[in-house]
Amino acid sequence: MSVRAFPLDLAPPVFLAPMAGITDLPFRNLVAQFGAGLVVSEMVASQELLARRPGTREKAELGLGIEGTAVQIAGREAHPMAEAARMVADQGALLIDINMGCPAKKVTQGASGSALMKTPDHALRLIEAVVAAVDVPVTLKTRLGWDNGLMNAPEIAARAEAAGISMITIHGRTRCQFYKGHADWAAIHHVKDAVSIPVIANGDIQDSTTARTALQRSGGDGVMVGRAARGKPWLLAEISHALYGTPAPNIPQGERFADMVRAHYEAMLSFYGATLGLRVARKHLGWYMDTHATRADLRRLVLTETDPTRVSSLIENAFCDAPSRVAA
């Protein structure tokens, strides 16, 4: 099964959500190796993007020209958003996603992200500007609304479709919920009823069981997985196998798990450089150790070691000494 974001067919319809500080190039590459219908870059502010104009590393970070990758942009003004979209499309972006879902205060206080749900007329001007600026598909990611008193996702979705948006992803919470409580997948069905373009359900999708339930309650055309993929880069492929019969991922165990973690670690060092790479890698190593039930003493050694070579050698002990619980 696939969803069509004109003119792209995205299959299987199990996608990796954009997550700041997490879905960088090394992690997206790893998830894609196991199997994913789409991976989305970390959100990038349009004005920041225009100011620094992507060089070689930034182009790689955004995934420009990489099949099955969307570049997510955010902003509060139509002209910079359009210019940023045009720039990344000219440099090879195959799909552009507009962020209207980020709940972070530093984003919403700048009248961007999910704050745009409070000003739908203005939000539509941004959407229209981006769609008009590029020939590649443009998608939208947003929430159910700003708060329980402003649940306007169906209205925004319908207007976005009329403006040329090819697909919309809905996180089943309002902005004011942040990530508290439970995602309301049934409320996403109101968006599905309002549009004819594909609707992707997002929020609290932990495994194939929750993914199936989210699809049933939302009527959605696919799912987007976020935080549950941390430490489990095979999770999307596992969900795809259960829901759509794609090949089952070969989930690494024992030494193979350690080899996967070490390869990811070295990819982060190569991409960021040793100093920054060591800091970025710690959170991923922590998530892997959560997944693998690594002993507390080994965990402490891995996360406090400052010599990258020593960390690499510690990985084998950290991921081979304890019973694995990697299967979802």
Which positions make up the binding site for FMN? 18-20, 72, 141, 171, 226-227
Torsion of CA 263, 11, 227, 80, to 10 degrees: 100
Task: For residue 110, give Cα distances in angstroms to 46, 105, 115, 303.
Answer: 13, 8, 8, 35
- Cα separation, 114 vs 99, whole angstroms: 8
**Of the residues 16, 40, 102, 123, which is catalytic?**
102
- Using the Cα atoms of residue 309, residue 231, residue 293 and residue 240 in order, give the sign of their dihedral: negative
**Binding residue ranges:** 18-20, 72, 141, 171, 226-227
102 labelled catalytic: yes
Other beta carbons within 10 Å of 6: 12
Which stretch of DSSP H or E encloses residue 272?
helix 254-272
Select from 246, 204, 196 the least CA-distant residue to 223.
Answer: 204
Sorted by sequence, the CB contacts under 8 Å of residue 242 that are 6+ apart come out as 208, 211, 212
Burial class of residue 300 (count of CB atoms within 10 Å of its CB; 0-12, 13-18, 19+): exposed
Give 44-48 contacts, CB < 8 A, sequence gap 24+: 44/71, 44/72, 44/73, 44/74, 44/84, 45/73, 45/74, 45/75, 45/112, 46/73, 46/74, 46/75, 46/77, 46/80, 46/81, 46/83, 46/84, 46/85, 47/75, 47/77, 47/80, 47/84
In 3-state terms, what secondary structure has residue 85? helix
Q: Beta-strand (E) ranges in 78-205?
A: 96-100, 138-145, 167-174, 199-202
> Angle CA(3)–CA(161)–CA(6) in degrees, nearest 5?
40
Point out the residues that are catalytic: 102
